[in-house]
Amino acid sequence: MTRRSMGVEEEFLLVDPADGQVRAMAAAALGADAARHEDGTESGHESGTEDGTEDGEGDVEAELQLQQLETNTDPCRSLTELGEQLRRARRQASEAARAVGVEIAALASSPLPAKPAFTPSRRYQRLRERFGLLAEDQLTCGCHIHVEVGSDEEGVAVVDRIRPWLAPLLALSGNSPFWQGEDSTYASYRTQVWSRWPSAGPTELFGSAETYHETVRAMTESRTVLDSGMVYFDARLSRQYPTVEIRVADVCLHADDAVLLAALARALVRTAARQWRDGEAAQPVRLELLRLAAWRASRYGLDAALLDPVTMRPAPARAVLDGLLEHVRDALEDVGDHADVSELYGALLGRGNGARVQRAAHARASSLADVVTDGVRRTLAS
């Protein structure tokens, strides 16, 4: 069976190794990274940043805030290749950060109080002017997964059919329990911050590529979003690549968890595409229920009931997540990923998602700075 390609974008905080505070060092770190590549070697895969802009090519890029860096993998077809690329990209970002006295941390929000500092680009300044405090609050780090599709029609069919299954991916990835120095009580408080954008979140059924593109066009013509790059759907067609981009996840503390999410995302795409080819209609879940499912995944992560994607009724988190694996079992087995995914899934459940790990680190030390230190170590662990 042909394996669809997949690629991952990860965003990281830049933190001071001495006190755990975020530092606005992205420009300096990017300069250090560029200096190491003056010999002209290729540094990686082209990709857009969080809002769809094209700040450049390479594995390490700027983000909305100067306290962040983003990395990107090349398109990969095997989980082994993806894992190697994720770790290489993390090492490259770490080397760039360390060259200017900071570290990278795969934490989806800063545990310590932080005041974001905007990257000085024309686009980001327009965002700041239009959206004010909403934009200024967006010091959050996500994980975006691109999965290859054969056409826009197939891509929209996939977007329609994976809608109920995105909340479990969010629950697995939850890695932002602390916000401005306090425990938010959420597994993914990043989701709550991110959902304030007027164009973010789950979507209604589109039914066709024509309707999808008409919707995006109407959103841009409303003059609310800056352009189509600001259409922040939980799952969308990429503007640059023949992919569906799944955008619900927090950045994962452990690289292995990012591999797991990508494998599940690819299996969801394969399953949905097969349903579409077989004439199976998309599940007509109302948008209001999708929003509730996302909220529960954001609030509780692995630690309390989620909404079952089939019934849209509460069920234990483990049952919902096991149901996700069963839903995509055939797709995983088709490409030989089932054994690896089962192992990665078991490891994540055993240690907990990032939110659980961060809270455990805080309980051990009673210090949010130590949470950051532990996060830096885990970001680069093999």
pLDDT at 14 over 90: yes
* pLDDT digits 0-9 by tens, 213-261: 999 999 999 999 999 999 999 999 999 999 999 999 999 999 999 999 9
Q: What is the pLDDT of residue 36?
A: 66
Asked if residue 258 is part of any domain, the answer here is yes
Beta bridge partners of 233: 201
DSSP-assigned states of every residue in 302-316: TSS-EE-TTT-SEE-
What is the residue range of 282's domain? 120-379
Distance CA 268, CA 273 (A): 8
Asked if residue 76 is part of any domain, the answer here is no
Q: How far is the first Cα of the chain from the last one, in angstroms, to the nearest whole number?
A: 30
* pLDDT digits 0-9 by tens, 132-153: 989 888 899 999 999 999 999 9
- CA nearest to 257, candidates 294, 220, 302: 302
pLDDT at 89 over 50: yes
Asked if residue 5 is part of any domain, the answer here is no
What does pTM read for this prediction? 0.93
Give, as one character, the DSSP assignment of residue 69. Answer: E
Pairing relation of β-strands 60-61 and 235-237? unpaired
Residue for token pair 């790059």: 229
Asked if residue 267 is part of any domain, the answer here is yes
Q: What is the CATH number of the domain that holds 339?
A: 3.30.590.20
Asked if residue 93 is part of any domain, the answer here is no
What's the rounded mean pLDDT across residues 186-205?
A: 97
pLDDT at 52 over 60: no
Asked if residue 192 is part of any domain, the answer here is yes
- CA nearest to 298, candidates 181, 172, 138: 172
* pLDDT digits 0-9 by tens, 272-322: 999 999 999 999 999 999 999 999 999 999 999 999 999 999 999 999 999
Asked if residue 164 is part of any domain, the answer here is yes
Name the percent of the chain lying above pLDDT 70: 93
* pLDDT digits 0-9 by tens, 153-162: 999 999 999 9
Count of Cβ atoms closer than 10 Å to residue 370 Cβ: 15
Give, as one character, the DSSP assignment of residue 278. Answer: T
Number of domains in the chain: 1
92-119 exposure pattern, b = at least 16 Cβ within 10 A, e = fewer: bbbebbebbebbbbbbbbbbbebebbbb
Q: Is residue 278 packed enough to be buried (19+ CB in 10 Å), middle (13-18) or exposed (0-12)?
A: exposed
Asked if residue 33 is part of any domain, the answer here is no
Residue 143 · residue 137 · CB < 8 Å: no
Indicate the residue type of 172: L
Residue 248 · residue 167 · CB < 8 Å: yes
- Cα–Cα separations (whole angstroms), residue 318 to 169, 254, 348, 358: 12, 20, 12, 20
